[in-house]
């Protein structure tokens, strides 16, 4: 299978997984909420939230592992892959152990009045918390094994585990509906057991198929230096993103209260769904970017990094562009009560998300090259600067819309900063990005938005009218994107995706 076909197949697999798991998860939440009740469900999420605060660490470690394993696979030297796996495994084992110990110690104080949990449910909450501490260790330690599968682009297996995970959690939801045991404890235990099963499935597959690339012995502190440093700088980017996002939540709450926060949260949910759509393409192409650098093919690496952003944003635009134009109508269909400001917030955050995803592939290229220090500092500082700037404007009496607008502007600046750093550090030509990415993407997006705005002014906004506006916008966007936006290489990937989908559908 050639590389274009492989990317196409992997993208279809990941999108299929995304749709299936999202649908199952949405239904599971409904059953779990009814089974646990609002109080126990709230307790579980409060406890899980404490654990999730350290999620950025796992994300950084995972990105580091995928980078080192994939780049070394590009050299076609099994010994180098095995050495990279060994270093990454040891780093994950140490960090997993430290995290579990820290969380266990923190747990001694959390339930002593810090968390607002009813006294009669504290014991159950503690048990669930320590179940989660165990799963943190397991999920961190297994990451090099899952990363090895991803670097080999065996997304069909990771998709299988994800779908199985979702199905089992749905089964847990049904079980706790009828169990006579403490539902919160039963839910926590079974969720932990699902994690254990996932770990076992990853281990079995890796040891069966890639045993010669796995080594967990010969521990060396010296050998951890490179991967630890890389993980640290990667973590800085993740922390910068988290600080910016959560900082705006606190900022808006401080100046405007809960209603504005609700509007911002709803806008964030919309962005989250769109971001998943774009990120799925990036996940399918990322191993190829890393391997291209390992093979010494920098031209292909840069081309793939641009392609990753373009196709990801293109897929996002199929939903994002109609949403920008028809946001009031969409929110009215989705929600019973729309908090004031949600429409404009959502539009601004969608623009920010599109800007971020357009150069997301550039981040992968920079990670592959390994010159991550300056890149991480510039991107993190650029993103977090939005907070003090927004604070100044809010102190001067400007509205919440201005603050969220500042957030969007700094996301655009951060996106451009990625390109600037890549150019400065690696001699890439600016024209390559603006010619092949920005100036190809801008006309289809702007023209389809203009078409939507014009139609929205003259067509009645009933169901038929909304469908006409949406379909016309999408036809205009797809036609222009195919004719003007995509290079021949990118068209081959799209054709491959369509061809593979048709062949699967016929079967």
Dump pLDDT digits (tens) for 351-386: 988 888 888 888 888 888 888 888 889 989 998 899
**450 versus 462: which is more confidently predicted?**
450
Residue 115 pLDDT: 65
Express each pLDDT in 60-107 by its tens digit.
777 888 888 888 888 888 888 888 888 888 888 888 888 888 888 887
Whole-number Å distance between alpha carbons of 229 and 440: 37
More confident position, 209 or 256: 209
**CA 46/CA 53 separation, integer angstroms:** 11
Whether 133 contacts 140, CB under 8 Å: no
Quote the pLDDT of residue 360: 83
Residue 11 lies in a domain: yes
Q: Is 343 a domain residue? A: no
Degrees to nearest 5, angle at CA 247 with 246 and 252: 100
pLDDT band at 50 (very low <50, low <70, confident <90, very high): low
Q: What's the whole-number average pLDDT of the chain?
A: 82
DSSP 481: I
Query: Residue 344 corresponds to which tokens in the numbers above?
Result: 């404009």
In a domain, 30, yes or no: yes
Q: Which residue has the higher pLDDT, 4 or 41?
A: 41
C-alpha to C-alpha distances, 367 to 12, 46, 196, 205, 286, nearest whole angstrom: 25, 34, 31, 27, 10
Mean pLDDT of 56-62: 74
**Domain membership flag for residue 500:** no
pLDDT at residue 447 greater than cutoff 90 = yes
User: In this predicted structure, what is the pLDDT of residue 53?
Assistant: 59
Residue range 159-177: average pLDDT? 89
Q: Is residue 228 part of a domain?
A: no
Q: Looking at the predicted structure, is the pLDDT value of residue 7 above 80?
A: no
Question: What are the CA-CA distances from residue 222 to residues 68, 69, 96, 121, 227 (Å)?
Answer: 16, 18, 19, 46, 10
Q: With pLDDT > 90 as the criterion, what percentage of the chain qualifies?
A: 15
Q: Assess contact for 279 and 312: CB atoms under 8 A.
A: yes
Residues whose CB falls within 8 Å of the CB of residue 292, separated by 6 or more in sequence, listed in order: 74, 298, 300, 301, 304, 368
What is residue 113's predicted lDDT score, i.e. its pLDDT? 65
Residue with tokens 């919160």: 184
* Predicted confidence band of residue 294 (pLDDT cuts 50, 70, 90): confident
CA trace torsion 240, 242, 245, 246 (10° rounding): -120
pLDDT, position 413: 92
Is the CB of residue 187 less than 8 Å from the CB of residue 32? yes
Q: Is the dihedral of CA 317, 284, 154, 190 positive or negative?
A: negative
Count of domains observed in the chain: 1
How big is the chain by its Cα radius of gyration, in Å?
A: 23
Q: Residue 344: what pLDDT?
A: 87
Helix (H) or strand (E) holding 137: helix 122-141
d(CA 232, CA 236): 6
Q: How far apart are CA 416 and CA 354, in angstroms?
A: 12
Q: How many CB atoms lie within 10 A of CB 466?
A: 19
How many angstroms separate the first and last alpha carbons of the chain?
A: 19
Q: What average pLDDT score do residues 29-48 get?
A: 75
3-state SS assignment for residue 67 = helix
295-313 tens-digit pLDDT: 888 888 888 888 888 888 8
Can you tell me the distance from the alpha carbon of 233 to that of 252, in angstroms, rounded to the nearest whole number? 29
Residue 392, pLDDT > 90, answer: yes
Please give the average per-residue pLDDT across 144-151, as a whole number.
88
Most confident of 59-63, 210-214, 271-275, 499-503: 210-214
Mean pLDDT, to the nearest integer, of 7-18?
78
Q: Report the candidate in 164, 215, 187 with the shortest Cα–Cα distance to residue 20.
A: 164
The string of DSSP letters for 269-334 reads HHHHHHHHHHHHHHHHHHHHHHHHHHTT-HHHHHHHHHHHHHHHHHHHHHHHHHHHHHHHHHHHHH
* Beta strands per DSSP E along 42-114: none
Instruction: Give the pLDDT band (50/70/90) at residue 264.
Output: confident
pLDDT at 2: 56
> 166: helix, coil or strand?
helix
Cα-Cα-Cα-Cα dihedral sign, residues 45, 48, 53, 55: negative
Q: What is the pLDDT of residue 200?
A: 94
When pLDDT is cut at 50, 70 and 90, the band that residue 472 belongs to is very high
Find the domain containing 184 and state its range. Answer: 1-220
Buried b / exposed e along 479-502 (16+ C-beta atoms within 10 A): ebbeeebbeeebebbbebbeebbe
Determine the pLDDT at residue 238: 80
Of 67-71, 131-135, 216-220, 302-306, minimum mean pLDDT range: 216-220
**Does residue 493 have a pLDDT over 80?**
no
User: Tell me: the pLDDT tens digits for 103-124?
Assistant: 888 877 777 766 667 778 778 8
Q: Are 67 and 290 in contact (CB under 8 A)?
A: yes
Taking each helix axis from N to C end, the angle separating 3-52 and 488-506, rounded to the nearest 10 degrees, works out to 80
What per-residue confidence (pLDDT) applies to 4? 58
Look at residue 429 and tell me whether its pLDDT is greater than 80: no
Distances (CA, A) of 19 to 16, 348, 381: 5, 25, 35
Task: Tokens for 212, please give them.
Answer: 């010669």
pLDDT of the residue at 218: 74
In a domain, 277, yes or no: no
Q: Give the pTM.
A: 0.76
The reply to whether 361 falls in a domain is: no
**CA–centroid distance for 470 within its chain:** 26
pLDDT at 475: 94
φ, ψ of residue 305 in degrees (nearest 5): -65, -40
Confidence band, pLDDT 50/70/90 cuts, at residue 393: very high
């Amino acid at each position: 299978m050639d590389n274009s076909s492989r990317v196409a197949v992997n993208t279809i697999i990941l999108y299929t997984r995304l749709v299936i798991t999202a649908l199952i998860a949405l239904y599971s939440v409904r059953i779990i909420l009814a089974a646990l009740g609002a109080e126990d469900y709230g307790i579980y999420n409060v406890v899980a939230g404490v654990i999730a605060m350290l999620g950025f660490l796992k994300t950084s470690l995972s990105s580091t592992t995928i980078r080192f394993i994939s780049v070394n696979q590009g050299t076609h030297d099994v010994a180098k892959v095995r050495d990279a796996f060994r270093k990454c495994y040891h780093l994950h084992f140490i960090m997993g152990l430290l995290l579990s110990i820290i969380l266990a110690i923190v747990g001694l104080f959390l339930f002593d009045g810090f968390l607002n949990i009813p006294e009669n449910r504290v014991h159950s909450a503690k048990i669930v918390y320590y179940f989660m501490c165990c799963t943190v260790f397991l999920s961190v330690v297994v990451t090099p094994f899952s990363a090895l599968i991803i670097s080999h682009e065996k997304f069909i297996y990771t998709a299988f585990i994800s779908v199985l995970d979702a199905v089992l959690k749905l089964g847990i939801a049904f079980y706790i509906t009828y169990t006579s045991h403490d539902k919160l404890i039963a839910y926590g235990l079974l969720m932990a057991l699902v994690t254990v099963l996932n770990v076992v499935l990853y281990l079995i597959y890796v040891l069966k198929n890639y045993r010669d690339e796995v080594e967990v012995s010969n521990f060396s502190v010296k050998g951890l230096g490179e991967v630890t440093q890389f993980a640290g700088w990667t973590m800085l980017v993740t922390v910068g993103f988290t600080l910016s996002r959560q900082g705006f939540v606190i900022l808006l709450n401080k100046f405007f209260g809960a209603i504005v926060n609700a509007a911002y949260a709803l806008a964030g949910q919309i962005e989250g769904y769109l971001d998943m759509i774009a990120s799925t393409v990036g996940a399918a192409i990322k191993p190829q970017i890393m391997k291209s650098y390992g093979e010494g093919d920098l031209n292909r690496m840069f081309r793939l990094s641009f392609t990753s952003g373009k196709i990801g944003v293109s897929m996002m635009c199929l939903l994002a562009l109609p949403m920008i134009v028809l946001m009031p109508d969409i929110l009215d269909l989705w929600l019973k009560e729309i908090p004031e400001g949600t429409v404009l917030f959502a539009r601004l955050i969608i623009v920010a998300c599109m800007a971020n995803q357009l150069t997301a592939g550039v981040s992968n290229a920079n990670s592959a090259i390994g010159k991550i220090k300056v890149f991480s500092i510039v991107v993190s500082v650029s993103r977090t600067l939005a907070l003090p700037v927004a604070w100044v404007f809010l102190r001067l009496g400007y509205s919440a819309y201005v603050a969220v607008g500042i957030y969007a502007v700094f996301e655009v600046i951060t996106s451009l900063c990625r390109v600037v750093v890549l150019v400065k550090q690696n001699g890439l030509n600016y024209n390559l990005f603006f010619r092949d990415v920005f100036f190809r993407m801008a006309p289809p997006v702007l023209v389809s938005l203009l078409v939507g705005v014009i139609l929205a002014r003259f067509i009645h906004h009933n169901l038929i009218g909304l469908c006409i506006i949406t379909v016309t916008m999408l036809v205009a966007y797809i036609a222009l994107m195919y004719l003007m936006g995509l290079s021949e290489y990118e068209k081959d990937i799209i054709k491959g995706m369509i061809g593979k989908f048709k062949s699967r559908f016929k079967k």
